[in-house]
Amino acid sequence: MAARMRWGLHQLLRSRNTSHFRFLVKSRSQYHTQGAGHSFTRPQLLPVTGATHFSVRHLSIQTQDTPNPRSLKFLPGKPVLGSGTLDFPSPSSAESSSLARILFEIEGVKSVFFGPDFITVTKADDDVEWTDIKRHALEAIDKFFESGEPITSVAVHPESSLSEDDDEIVSMIKELLDTRIRPTVQEDGGDVIFKGFEDGRVKLKLVGSCTGCPSSTVTLRNGIQNMLQFYIPEVDEVEQVEDEVDEINAKVFSELERKLQD
């Protein structure tokens, strides 16, 4: 039975077609996914003899809701990282990116996440309105891309890329994550990072819009876990984990929130 499952998995991965699974209970229409475009027009003077001419350049930034009401996805219409993702859970983690640092300066921003062609901004709580955050974020993103600065000063490596040291089971888990699961989650402004496999338990870290999302547990149990178990019988369960530094940042942020409320 296991051999048949492995054969089916290899056939699935070999096809590499464009269809993906949706894991979230809510449909896109239910959480109001939208493609609101925001155009920034900048005139550029061209030196032409005898006349003054202007070339108009348009940067249209789309905004899109995510399953997490505290996260908003910005699509600048051009590559952000190109490939891979970068998570900035706190201002102290944004040393490698001037754009992330600028976005953290906006009041109410809790975390920033970069994807291949999108930026996800997560606000601190439901009491913070999106209106001002969205306006300032659009201006910051537009100005940054006009500057031509690099998005980050560090190299970006795919977290779940296959390694020669991986055994057969880990290789299959990573293949399924990279080809079937992560692209779908990235469409919703987040990502799923492989953190280990031990005693039948797959350890995953949810980042971007997935962090603190009400649907994240459903995504793990009804989506990712069921799919991994179907193709890889050795998988017993999927567990959400956090890095030690993330846990420390979360505690510090919670303590700060408590002091502000007192």
Instruction: Please provide the average confidence, as pLDDT, over all residues in the chain.
Output: 76
Domain(s) labelled CATH 3.30.300.130 in the chain stretch across: 2-24+159-246
Calpha distance 145→1 (Å, rounded): 53
Which CATH architecture fits 36-147?
A: 2-Layer Sandwich (3.30)
Residue 41 has pLDDT above 70, yes or no: no
Mean pLDDT in residue range 134-153: 93
Please tell me the predicted confidence (pLDDT) of residue 255.
Answer: 55
Mean pLDDT in residue range 64-75: 92
Domain(s) labelled CATH 3.30.1370.70 in the chain stretch across: 36-147
Calpha distance 11→95 (Å, rounded): 43
Please tell me the predicted confidence (pLDDT) of residue 128.
Answer: 83
- The contacts found for 16-19 with CB under 8 angstroms, 24 or more apart, are 16/179
Please tell me the predicted confidence (pLDDT) of residue 37.
Answer: 63
Please tell me the predicted confidence (pLDDT) of residue 36.
Answer: 59
Residue 23 has pLDDT above 70, yes or no: no
- Whole-number Cα distances in Å, 129 to 69, 139, 210: 11, 17, 20
In order, the DSSP letters of 91-124 are: GGG-TT-HHHHHHHTSTTEEEEEE-SS-EEEEES
Residue 43 has pLDDT above 60, yes or no: no
- Tokens representing 188 are 């919703």
pLDDT tens-place string over residues 70-126: 999 999 999 999 888 899 999 999 999 999 999 999 999 999 999 999 999 999 888
Q: How many CB atoms lie within 10 A of CB 234?
A: 15
CATH superfamily label, 2-24+159-246: Fe-S cluster assembly (FSCA) (3.30.300.130)
Residue 3 has pLDDT above 70, yes or no: no
Please tell me the predicted confidence (pLDDT) of residue 12.
Answer: 52
- Report the sign of the C-alpha dihedral through residues 104, 108, 113, 115, in that order: negative
- Band (pLDDT 50/70/90 cuts) for residue 222 is confident
